[in-house]
Amino acid sequence: MAVKRVLQYGEKSLREPSKEVHKVSKKIHELVQDLLDTMYAKNGVGMAAPQIGVNYRVFVVDVSKNDEPLNPHVFINPKIIKKSGAVIAQEGCISFPEAYTDVKRYSNVTVKALDINGRAFILEAKDGELLSRAIQHEYDHLDGILFIDHCVNRFETDKVLAEHNLPPVEPEKLADDSELDKELNK
């Protein structure tokens, strides 16, 4: 389909919750292809529909390495049904060009979603691997939550954002990561 313009941090619709998909139609197929085209063009590992200004509960992830064949996963109306463990890792986002900061994520997640053909599937991502973190990152986009909302240190994150001419962290948007904090302090 096409490489779309990626919304940048500060643009309003990145903070808006997305609507459920009622039918995996031709329009949704085109949206998925646009997400994949845009993600690959920007060298990303994930892309959510809100990042291209379409507030539907759809995202794509491909964590294949340079020497591996492409292996995209499509998630329509995803729900994280199980989560455990905790990990801190550097994250970035195509909507935050070149800005990276440490964030808290669950190590293990199980997600239930529809695939591109409208068939339900369940996928388990474990051990804090990139797939697990990418699923959580893209899933958050569907609820208007951004990776910086899970930052380990708000002030360090503000400094990184300022270096890239991006607005600071919105303190009222910071996630309640008390469950993650408990896991990290075990």
Enter the pTM of the model.
0.96
Q: How far apart are CA 148 and CA 145, in angstroms?
A: 8
Annotation marks residue 138 as catalytic:
yes
185 CB burial (10 A radius; 0-12, 13-18, 19+): exposed
3-state helix, strand, coil in the chain (%, to 5): 30, 30, 40
The whole-number pLDDT of residue 67 equals: 86
Q: What is the mean pLDDT of each run of 10 residues along the chain (186 residues)?
A: 93 95 97 97 96 97 91 97 96 96 97 97 94 98 98 97 96 93 86
Contact by Cβ (8 Å): 110, 81: yes
Of 16, 98, 138, 183, catalytic = 138
Please report the domains of the chain, with CATH numbers, ordered by start residue: 12-184 (3.90.45.10)
